[in-house]
Structure 1
Amino acid sequence: MTREMFTAQYFARVHEFMETARAEEPVFLTRQVSGVPTWVVTRYDDVRALLTDDRLRKDSVQLGEILRAKLVEAGHKPEIGTLLGPNMLNADPPDHSRLRLLLAKEFTARRIARLRPFTERLTDELLAAYEGQDGPVDLADGFAVALPALVISELLGVPGADRHEFQGWTGALLSGDPRLSMPANAKIEAYFKELIRAKSEQPGEDLLSAMTLASEQEDRLSADELLSAAVLLLVAGHETTANLISAGIRRLLTEPGLAGQLLSDAPAVVEELLRLDSPVMLATFRFTVEDIEIGGVAIPKGELVQLSVGSANRDAARFEHGDRFDLDRGGRGHVAFGHGLHHCLGAPLARLEGEVALTALARQFPDARLAVPVDQLPHRRAAIMNGYSEMPVLLGARAVVTNS
């Protein structure tokens, strides 16, 4: 039996959907927006084990072959986007090790630490723009999305003024609908090819310049690998963190006492947010390299599989009362950033941005409240993501004017 996902009802009640699936059909077959069949795994123990199971692979060449064939069967052109190209997210060892090590060399703790003052200053500027506004403001686009988009732009060396343009492209890329994603893919490819050419001719101190120079000098990244890595970093670098911040705002304005907890221990609060409101609902595609059995369900070789980290993080078998915000659980064990080889390289940056954004909001607008009932907050309709498309808030008076 195929369980239907990606409908308006699914996006409005995604956690209820996953809770039912965990209880009734923890491993099920669904169809993507494109019509491509995919197996979904929902329980914590299965998800965590499969994140490091060699029977599931991510090699971009084989993945591309499987996807193209299934797209044709579903009535689409055999086209896949740059995000599914030869980057570290779509690679197995030894290619994965090579690609990840090259990025890790540049995506250092020192480089990220240098972003904290910039992130704090930018956060204050974004919040200051709301001062004096009496009516509802949308903190999704103007704050939750804007902050990580501008930070990743700074890190990569992408002009921040282009954020509205590339946000439209990345939203389309994540829709799962080839009719939207492929035209957006062509635009973002053209954008980055030109930017990479410019970095090659006149490099700066940014990450994309460093990647471009490393590719030229050490012959460690092909042109396709460089392009795919750049697109991955831009998309992953702001889409997921935007979801974390918007979900954090929702919790901050509806969970009694959370503001005080946030101001006294922001890292612990952000960790529980990552578990409870995982920014990613479904991990990216893997495929079976042999017939396997998961949770009593047989999945043949050559099938697509997605592991629901967002569902796993609420599994009551691992987290007692998993649908509740509870700092006492300590934040350990969640798989919001994955597990094993593909654990998110940008996790420290996402944590930093979440802590800075939410503590600044709590300090500067202590009387803020949602402008609509929580069940009327619209969820994003992005196939793998978990977040809100709008966050209407009545901010009240700004209590703190930060230092310039």
Structure 2
Amino acid sequence: MTMSLEYPMPRSCPFGPPPQYAQVRQEAPISRVTLRDGTRAWLITGHALAREFLSSDRISSDRLNPGFPQLVPGVASVPLKGTLVAMDPPEHSRHRRMITNEFTVKKVRRMRPEIQRIADRAIDELLAGPRPADLVEALSLPVPSLVICELLGVPYADRGLFQGRTKVILSRHSTVEQRRDAAIWLRRYVGELVAGKESAPGEDLLSRLIGKYRDIDAYDRETLTGIGLLLLVGGHETTANMISLSVVSLLEDPGLRAGLPERAPQLVEELLRFHSIVDNATSRVVVEDFALGGVTFRAGDGVIVAAAAASHDPEVFARPDRIDVERGGRHHLAFGFGIHQCLGQNLARLELEIVLNTLFARIPDLALAEPVERLPFKTDALVYGMHRLPVTWP
């Protein structure tokens, strides 16, 4: 590769991935990059190579493993016990088995009436409020936040506390100390919730997990706290950003709404591929030498799989920079790939489907209150999205 590559790479179009990805993928789909802390890592941008790499048993997700690409300064100071995305087999396999059946398609479908009720109420309040309105605060954030709070048994009244600290953790502008303090506060908060459910269990997921672990004599409060924290943060932040970006996409291209509600599942899948908001959660470190794509990875090498680049690979997705509802692109990497593929993906899909269907059915004349080029996109965050989305209607 002739050009000097620094990572992360900025997005220039508010919707698509960094434009450099296309050139990197064409010239060398496995390339060397320099991270902000000066360390070097591999970057994988090709779809087939990404899936093959993430299927390997010679890589680790442990953030404390020497060589893991530190995209977030100070991660070593954040308590990680119970964080599934930072575990390796067999520990990861054991804990994931305890949770997987809570997020099956069948179980998630049972939540449809409740998610519909939550979406309807949020839109009721939106319509009753002033115009223009910020859709992030009125709809995108409240719906997944309330859904995950009800699922886990977290008081929704505390949403401002955990939402604010989640923003600190995910912001690239946060200092090591700010990020650590926010993570410690969140962990303490979830830990206190878990402790309360030990003696007074409810009908929520955390209570069920306490029972499951106790049934096999494997209950550990700190581990369940980490699991609960990951579900709480991941369960509202990513979906909220996808709702906002999806709404802007449908407002900018009204033709995409033609298939609603019948084609909503296909549209949601394509929006997930197109936006690929979590671009580097698939980072890994090599623990045993192996070769792939003409490159030999050595133990201790950090590797970043750029999910957005892989999901825009023209070898797999024709005209990848176009939202094509007929594409059938469920093999994208928006939810990762392999043993760490997102647990809550079925829930995220359903929430997106319900929100988009309901919003445009009830407010068909919804419009942006500001030009797209003036909208504040989250170029400063680890999860891409929007800080604010001003909308209006007749």
TM-score by length of 2: 0.89
Any conservation in 2 of the 1:87–1:99 contact (CA below 8 Å)? no
The CA RMSD over aligned residues, in Å, is: 2.7
**C-alpha spacing 1:10/1:180, structure 2 compared with 1 (3 Å):** farther
Give the equivalent residue in structure 2 for 1:197.
195
Q: Tell me if 1:157 matches 2:153.
A: yes
Q: Tell me if 1:167 matches 2:167.
A: no
Any conservation in 1 of the 2:10–2:18 contact (CA below 8 Å)? no
CA–CA distance in 2 between the matches of 1:80 and 1:303? 21
Any conservation in 2 of the 1:57–1:287 contact (CA below 8 Å)? yes
CA–CA distance in 2 between the matches of 1:8 and 1:269? 26
- Out of 318, 321, 324, the residue aligned to residue 319 of structure 2 is 321
* Structure 1 residue 356: Cα displacement: 0.4
CA–CA distance in 2 between the matches of 1:289 and 1:38? 14
- Out of 84, 106, 111, the residue aligned to residue 88 of structure 1 is 84
What pairs with 1:264-343 in structure 2 (closer than 5 Å)?
264-343=262-341
* Structure 1 residue 304: Cα displacement: 2.2
What pairs with 1:4-403 in structure 2 (closer than 5 Å)?
4-6=6-8, 14-30=17-33, 37-58=40-61, 60=62, 63-66=63-66, 79-82=76-79, 84-131=80-127, 133=129, 135-175=131-171, 177=174, 178-381=176-379, 384-394=382-392, 396-397=393-394
Q: Deviation digits for residues 205-249 of structure 1, max 9, x if unmatched?
A: 000111223333423343332121111111111122112211210
Structure 1: gaps (5+ residues): 398-404
Give the percent of matched residue pairs that are identical in Structure 1 and Structure 2.
37
Structure 2: gaps (5+ residues): none
* Structure 1 residue 21: Cα displacement: 2.9
Any conservation in 1 of the 2:312–2:321 contact (CA below 8 Å)? yes
* Structure 1 residue 144: Cα displacement: 1.1
Q: Deviation digits for residues 93-123 of structure 1, max 9, x if unmatched?
A: 3222211110124445454233211111111
CA–CA distance in 1 between the matches of 2:246 and 2:351? 11
CA–CA distance in 2 between the matches of 1:245 and 1:35? 35
Any conservation in 1 of the 2:6–2:36 contact (CA below 8 Å)? no
Any conservation in 2 of the 1:11–1:380 contact (CA below 8 Å)? no
Q: Deviation digits for residues 156-190 of structure 1, max 9, x if unmatched?
A: 01111111211111222223552332111111011
**C-alpha spacing 1:389/1:295, structure 2 compared with 1 (3 Å):** farther
Any conservation in 2 of the 1:284–1:384 contact (CA below 8 Å)? no
* Structure 1 residue 347: Cα displacement: 1.2
TM-score by length of 1: 0.87
CA–CA distance in 2 between the matches of 1:124 and 1:301? 51
The count of corresponding residues between Structure 1 and Structure 2 is 388
Query: Which secondary structure state, in structure 1, belongs to the residue aligned with residue 89 of structure 2?
Result: coil
**C-alpha spacing 1:9/1:312, structure 2 compared with 1 (3 Å):** closer
Q: Which runs of 4+ in 1 moved over 6 A?
A: 7-11
